[in-house]
Amino acid sequence: MLIASAFRSFETQASLKSEYRVVYGAGTANQFSADQGYSEHQLGTAMDFTTPSVGGAFSKFPADPAYDWLQDNAHKYGFVLSYPENNSYYKFEPWHWRFVGVALATFLHGEGKYFYDLDQREIDTYLIKLFD
């Protein structure tokens, strides 16, 4: 498994979003890309994974064994899938995983929930544990 993308600066995110708007149109770009200042990549909490067999064809990632491994094990390392199927934020991004800490990731995995399913106050109780 390889990291295709991780931290992005404000400028890099702005450039990517601008490019996506030109190529796909603003409406479509907003379905899969955050504006600068709102990206998990810009926060430094997200990584996009790939494998040699997938390369840049991220749409193939769900069929790759690496995706199954992440589904089963990412929480043990503090990662959660940011944008699952049928989420209300962006299109399904099986390659995009966010670090939230082992305690919160394990809780979410055990409950079958996703990060954005939780109330901010509930998230805060786990974020405090991140620094314990």
Residues with catalytic annotation?
A: 93
Do β-strands 79-81 and 46-50 pair in parallel, antiparallel, or remain unpaired?
unpaired
How far apart are the two ends of the chain, measured CA to CA in Å?
A: 30
Which 3-state string (H, E, C) describes 77-119?
HCEEECCCCCCCCCCCCCCEEEECCHHHHHHHHHHCCCHHHCC
Question: What's the order of all strands across the beta sheet hosting 79-81?
Answer: 2-5, 46-50, 96-99, 79-81
The residue length of the chain stands at 132
Rounded to 5 degrees, φ, ψ at 17 are -65, -40
